[in-house]
A and B are shown apart, each in its own frame.
Chain A
Protein backbone atom coordinates (compact mmCIF):
# COMPACT_ATOMS: atom_id res chain seq x y z
CA UNK A 1 0.00 0.00 0.00
CA UNK A 2 0.82 3.68 0.20
CA UNK A 3 2.76 4.83 3.25
CA UNK A 4 3.53 8.33 4.52
CA UNK A 5 5.86 9.80 7.09
CA UNK A 6 5.81 11.32 9.56
CA UNK A 7 2.35 10.75 11.00
CA UNK A 8 2.23 14.06 12.82
CA UNK A 9 4.36 17.18 12.63
CA UNK A 10 4.36 20.48 14.47
CA UNK A 11 6.11 23.49 12.97
CA UNK A 12 6.13 27.22 13.53
CA UNK A 13 5.24 29.94 11.06
CA UNK A 14 7.99 30.65 8.56
CA UNK A 15 9.64 27.25 8.84
CA UNK A 16 10.02 24.73 6.05
CA UNK A 17 8.71 21.14 6.05
CA UNK A 18 9.24 17.99 4.00
CA UNK A 19 6.66 15.23 3.92
CA UNK A 20 7.41 11.83 2.46
CA UNK A 21 5.40 9.22 0.64
CA UNK A 22 6.10 5.73 -0.59
CA UNK A 23 3.88 4.73 -3.49
CA UNK A 24 2.33 1.35 -4.12
CA UNK A 25 4.79 -0.82 -6.01
CA UNK A 26 4.45 -0.49 -9.79
CA UNK A 27 2.60 2.82 -9.70
CA UNK A 28 4.07 5.61 -11.83
CA UNK A 29 2.03 8.58 -10.64
CA UNK A 30 1.82 10.30 -7.29
CA UNK A 31 -0.64 13.01 -6.35
CA UNK A 32 -0.68 15.20 -3.26
CA UNK A 33 -3.78 16.60 -1.60
CA UNK A 34 -4.43 18.95 1.31
CA UNK A 35 -7.41 18.16 3.54
CA UNK A 36 -8.39 20.95 5.91
CA UNK A 37 -10.59 20.10 8.87
CA UNK A 38 -14.15 19.41 7.79
CA UNK A 39 -13.33 19.65 4.09
CA UNK A 40 -12.70 17.29 1.22
CA UNK A 41 -9.15 16.84 -0.06
CA UNK A 42 -7.88 19.60 -2.37
CA UNK A 43 -5.49 18.74 -5.19
CA UNK A 44 -2.02 20.27 -4.76
CA UNK A 45 -0.07 18.70 -7.64
CA UNK A 46 0.77 15.48 -9.37
CA UNK A 47 4.01 13.87 -10.51
CA UNK A 48 4.20 11.44 -13.40
CA UNK A 49 7.49 9.78 -14.26
CA UNK A 50 9.32 12.25 -12.02
CA UNK A 51 7.94 15.39 -13.62
CA UNK A 52 5.19 17.70 -12.41
CA UNK A 53 2.04 16.89 -14.34
CA UNK A 54 -0.57 19.34 -13.16
CA UNK A 55 -0.99 21.70 -10.23
CA UNK A 56 -3.97 22.93 -8.29
CA UNK A 57 -4.50 26.37 -6.85
CA UNK A 58 -1.48 26.34 -4.53
CA UNK A 59 1.42 28.83 -4.49
CA UNK A 60 4.96 27.98 -5.62
CA UNK A 61 6.12 27.55 -2.01
CA UNK A 62 4.48 24.13 -2.33
CA UNK A 63 6.85 21.98 -4.33
CA UNK A 64 7.50 18.29 -4.84
CA UNK A 65 9.77 15.60 -6.07
CA UNK A 66 9.22 12.08 -7.32
CA UNK A 67 12.06 9.57 -7.27
CA UNK A 68 12.56 6.43 -9.37
CA UNK A 69 12.28 4.20 -6.30
CA UNK A 70 8.52 4.77 -5.74
CA UNK A 71 9.15 7.52 -3.18
CA UNK A 72 8.17 11.16 -3.34
CA UNK A 73 8.28 14.34 -1.29
CA UNK A 74 6.11 17.36 -0.67
CA UNK A 75 8.00 20.46 0.44
CA UNK A 76 6.37 23.55 1.88
CA UNK A 77 8.41 26.69 2.47
CA UNK A 78 7.56 29.71 4.60
CA UNK A 79 4.81 27.92 6.49
CA UNK A 80 1.64 29.83 7.27
CA UNK A 81 -1.00 29.09 9.89
CA UNK A 82 -3.48 28.11 7.15
CA UNK A 83 -1.15 25.34 6.04
CA UNK A 84 -2.30 23.34 9.06
CA UNK A 85 -4.06 20.35 7.54
CA UNK A 86 -3.87 16.66 6.75
CA UNK A 87 -1.63 16.07 3.72
CA UNK A 88 -2.51 13.03 1.66
CA UNK A 89 -0.44 11.22 -0.89
CA UNK A 90 -2.12 9.04 -3.51
CA UNK A 91 -0.50 6.76 -6.04
CA UNK A 92 -1.84 5.30 -9.25
CA UNK A 93 -0.86 3.58 -12.46
CA UNK A 94 -1.47 5.83 -15.44
CA UNK A 95 -1.49 3.57 -18.45
CA UNK A 96 -4.87 4.52 -19.79
CA UNK A 97 -7.69 6.79 -18.77
CA UNK A 98 -9.18 4.69 -16.02
CA UNK A 99 -6.63 5.20 -13.28
CA UNK A 100 -7.63 4.78 -9.66
CA UNK A 101 -5.83 6.65 -6.91
CA UNK A 102 -4.99 4.86 -3.67
CA UNK A 103 -4.38 6.99 -0.62
CA UNK A 104 -1.93 6.83 2.22
CA UNK A 105 -2.83 7.55 5.84
CA UNK A 106 -1.69 11.15 5.63
CA UNK A 107 0.57 13.46 7.60
CA UNK A 108 -1.14 15.85 9.98
CA UNK A 109 0.74 19.14 9.96
CA UNK A 110 0.13 21.74 12.65
CA UNK A 111 1.60 25.21 12.18
CA UNK A 112 1.82 27.35 15.31
Chain B
Protein backbone atom coordinates (compact mmCIF):
# COMPACT_ATOMS: atom_id res chain seq x y z
CA UNK B 1 0.00 0.00 0.00
CA UNK B 2 1.16 3.48 -0.74
CA UNK B 3 1.89 6.09 1.93
CA UNK B 4 2.64 9.81 1.87
CA UNK B 5 4.91 11.83 4.14
CA UNK B 6 4.81 15.56 4.61
CA UNK B 7 7.73 16.47 6.83
CA UNK B 8 6.82 20.09 7.49
CA UNK B 9 3.86 20.20 9.84
CA UNK B 10 3.76 23.94 10.41
CA UNK B 11 5.53 26.58 8.33
CA UNK B 12 5.56 30.29 9.12
CA UNK B 13 6.74 32.73 6.44
CA UNK B 14 6.69 36.43 5.83
CA UNK B 15 4.97 37.79 2.76
CA UNK B 16 7.16 37.65 -0.36
CA UNK B 17 9.24 34.78 1.03
CA UNK B 18 9.71 31.70 -1.12
CA UNK B 19 7.93 28.49 -0.24
CA UNK B 20 8.83 24.85 -0.61
CA UNK B 21 6.74 22.13 1.02
CA UNK B 22 8.06 18.61 0.98
CA UNK B 23 6.12 15.53 -0.05
CA UNK B 24 7.48 12.02 -0.33
CA UNK B 25 5.55 8.90 -1.18
CA UNK B 26 6.29 5.24 -0.94
CA UNK B 27 5.15 3.08 -3.82
CA UNK B 28 7.27 1.36 -6.41
CA UNK B 29 4.99 1.67 -9.40
CA UNK B 30 3.27 4.40 -11.36
CA UNK B 31 1.39 6.97 -9.33
CA UNK B 32 -0.69 10.06 -9.92
CA UNK B 33 0.23 12.96 -7.65
CA UNK B 34 -1.84 15.83 -6.32
CA UNK B 35 -1.62 18.86 -4.09
CA UNK B 36 -4.82 20.06 -2.46
CA UNK B 37 -5.29 23.20 -0.40
CA UNK B 38 -7.78 23.86 2.38
CA UNK B 39 -8.23 27.57 3.13
CA UNK B 40 -9.70 28.43 6.55
CA UNK B 41 -13.39 27.60 6.56
CA UNK B 42 -13.34 26.29 3.00
CA UNK B 43 -13.33 22.88 1.38
CA UNK B 44 -10.40 21.02 -0.15
CA UNK B 45 -9.48 22.48 -3.52
CA UNK B 46 -7.18 21.06 -6.16
CA UNK B 47 -3.98 23.11 -6.59
CA UNK B 48 -2.27 20.97 -9.19
CA UNK B 49 -1.83 17.42 -10.39
CA UNK B 50 0.70 15.24 -12.16
CA UNK B 51 -0.19 12.24 -14.29
CA UNK B 52 2.67 11.97 -16.78
CA UNK B 53 4.92 14.02 -19.04
CA UNK B 54 6.76 17.15 -17.95
CA UNK B 55 7.70 16.60 -14.29
CA UNK B 56 7.36 20.32 -13.57
CA UNK B 57 3.68 21.03 -13.11
CA UNK B 58 2.12 24.46 -12.82
CA UNK B 59 -1.07 24.97 -10.87
CA UNK B 60 -3.33 27.77 -9.82
CA UNK B 61 -2.31 30.91 -7.91
CA UNK B 62 1.34 30.70 -8.96
CA UNK B 63 2.06 27.31 -7.38
CA UNK B 64 4.17 24.66 -9.06
CA UNK B 65 5.45 21.23 -8.13
CA UNK B 66 8.24 19.04 -9.39
CA UNK B 67 8.02 15.29 -9.61
CA UNK B 68 11.39 13.62 -9.01
CA UNK B 69 10.85 9.92 -9.57
CA UNK B 70 14.25 8.86 -8.22
CA UNK B 71 13.51 10.59 -4.93
CA UNK B 72 9.82 9.62 -4.77
CA UNK B 73 9.13 13.29 -4.19
CA UNK B 74 6.58 15.86 -5.35
CA UNK B 75 7.50 19.11 -3.61
CA UNK B 76 5.29 22.18 -3.84
CA UNK B 77 6.85 25.57 -4.52
CA UNK B 78 5.88 29.19 -4.85
CA UNK B 79 8.44 31.95 -5.44
CA UNK B 80 6.67 34.62 -3.40
CA UNK B 81 3.88 33.86 -0.92
CA UNK B 82 1.02 36.16 -0.04
CA UNK B 83 -0.98 36.48 3.16
CA UNK B 84 -3.91 34.88 1.29
CA UNK B 85 -1.86 31.67 0.90
CA UNK B 86 -2.39 30.95 4.60
CA UNK B 87 -3.98 27.50 4.53
CA UNK B 88 -3.43 23.79 5.04
CA UNK B 89 -1.74 21.99 2.18
CA UNK B 90 -2.16 18.29 1.51
CA UNK B 91 -0.14 16.08 -0.79
CA UNK B 92 -1.95 12.99 -2.12
CA UNK B 93 -1.23 10.06 -4.40
CA UNK B 94 -3.24 7.38 -6.09
CA UNK B 95 -2.37 4.39 -8.17
CA UNK B 96 -3.95 4.75 -11.61
CA UNK B 97 -6.37 2.01 -12.58
CA UNK B 98 -7.90 1.91 -16.02
CA UNK B 99 -11.66 2.23 -16.12
CA UNK B 100 -12.19 2.97 -12.46
CA UNK B 101 -11.15 5.50 -9.88
CA UNK B 102 -8.75 4.62 -7.14
CA UNK B 103 -8.47 5.90 -3.61
CA UNK B 104 -6.40 8.90 -2.71
CA UNK B 105 -3.83 8.49 0.03
CA UNK B 106 -3.13 11.78 1.78
CA UNK B 107 -0.27 13.08 3.85
CA UNK B 108 -0.99 14.61 7.25
CA UNK B 109 -0.85 18.12 5.84
CA UNK B 110 1.28 21.22 6.29
CA UNK B 111 -0.17 24.30 7.92
CA UNK B 112 1.22 27.41 6.24
CA UNK B 113 0.95 30.70 8.06
CA UNK B 114 1.98 33.82 6.13
CA UNK B 115 2.70 36.91 8.22
CA UNK B 116 2.17 40.44 6.92
Contact = CB atoms under 8 A, between A and B. Distances in A.
A99 B32 CA distance: 9
A105 B101 contact: no
Interface range, A side: 20 to 34
A61 to B, nearest CB: 19
B41 to A, nearest CB: 9
Contacts, number: 69
Contacts of A33: 104, 106
B42 A105 contact: yes
A46 B43 contact: no
Contacts of B51: 98
Interface string A1-45: 000000000000000000000000000010101000011111100
A98 B101 contact: no
Given A40-B90, A98-B32, A104-B43, 11 more contacts: A33-B106, A38-B109, A40-B106, A46-B103, A53-B101, A56-B103, A90-B104, A97-B98, A99-B101, A99-B102, A100-B46
30 contacts: A31-B101, A31-B103, A33-B104, A38-B109, A40-B92, A41-B44, A41-B90, A41-B104, A43-B105, A46-B103, A48-B101, A53-B100, A53-B101, A54-B103, A92-B101, A95-B99, A96-B98, A97-B97, A97-B98, A97-B99, A98-B51, A98-B96, A99-B102, A100-B34, A100-B46, A103-B43, A103-B44, A103-B45, A104-B43, A105-B42
